[in-house]
């Protein structure tokens, strides 16, 4: 049983410069979310980083919020928190798979993301994983995000997005010359 297992925990690395972490939580199960948040905040503070917290309606919205924040603000790392408990329909699989896939794609795009969205069969499993005094998965997700950030900084990862760059703006002379060539 997971509650009685011992897990290896990496030592905290040191941050070469200040870090700002965004915690994005889907508080559908408020008591569980509060435990995840407490663990994440404590771990971020133990690293000497600062944090902000936002709430979104559900686990499916967590990757979108992180993507928006990554493009529109100045966060260095992201912690995704929430809990999905199996119900009577296949909605559980959709939410688990799609939220995880979205976070994985963000990570593969260069974002330092720690995934602390619990996917469990029942409330008891969720509480064991969420509680700071037990498995502390919120703290683990924060640590994962900060470890990834240290790797990114070590390797000198660019802050610019990945993908195509927009074309340079054209001046009036360039547009006129281009039109003249197309009418020949």
Query: Residue 137: which region, alpha, beta or left (left: phi > 0; alpha: psi -120 to 50)?
Result: alpha
Asked if residue 55 belongs to a domain, the reply is yes
Asked if residue 37 belongs to a domain, the reply is yes
- Structure-token pair, residue 132: 């700071």
pLDDT over 70 (residue 182): no
pTM of the model: 0.83
Higher pLDDT among residues 4 and 41, named by residue: 41
Asked if residue 9 belongs to a domain, the reply is no
Average pLDDT score over the chain: 89
Asked if residue 152 belongs to a domain, the reply is yes
So which residues are the catalytic ones?
A: 91
Containing structural domain, residue 130: 18-160
Q: Stretch 39-45: mean pLDDT, rounded?
A: 98
Asked if residue 165 belongs to a domain, the reply is no
Identify the CATH number of the domain in which residue 39 sits.
Answer: 3.40.50.960
Instruction: Give pLDDT tens digits for 102-159.
Output: 999 999 999 999 999 999 999 999 999 999 999 999 999 999 999 999 999 999 855 5
Q: Stretch 53-73: mean pLDDT, rounded?
A: 98
Report the number of distinct structural domains present in the chain.
1
Confidence of residue 173 (pLDDT cuts 50, 70, 90): low
Which residues have a Cβ under 8 Å from the Cβ of 84 and sit 6 or more positions away? 59, 92, 95, 96, 99, 117, 118, 119, 120
Asked if residue 34 belongs to a domain, the reply is yes
């Amino acid at each position: 049983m997971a509650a009685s297992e011992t897990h290896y925990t990496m030592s905290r690395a040191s941050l070469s410069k200040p870090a700002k972490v965004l915690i994005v939580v889907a508080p559908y199960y408020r008591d569980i979310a509060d435990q995840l948040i407490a663990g994440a905040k404590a771990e971020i503070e133990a690293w000497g980083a600062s944090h902000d917290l936002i709430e979104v309606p559900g686990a499916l919205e967590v990757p979108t919020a992180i993507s928006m924040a990554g493009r529109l603000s100045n966060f260095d790392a992201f912690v995704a928190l929430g809990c999905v408990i199996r119900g009577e329909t296949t909605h559980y699989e959709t939410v688990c798979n799609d939220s995880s896939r979205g976070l994985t794609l963000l990570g593969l795009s260069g974002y330092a993301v720690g995934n602390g969205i619990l996917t469990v069969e029942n409330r008891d499993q969720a509480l064991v994983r969420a509680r700071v005094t037990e498995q502390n998965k919120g703290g683990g997700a924060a640590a994962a995000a900060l470890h990834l950030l240290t790797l990114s900084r070590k390797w000198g990862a660019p802050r610019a997005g990945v993908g195509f760059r927009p074309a340079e703006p054209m001046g009036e002379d360039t547009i006129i010359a281009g039109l003249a060539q197309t009418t020949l």
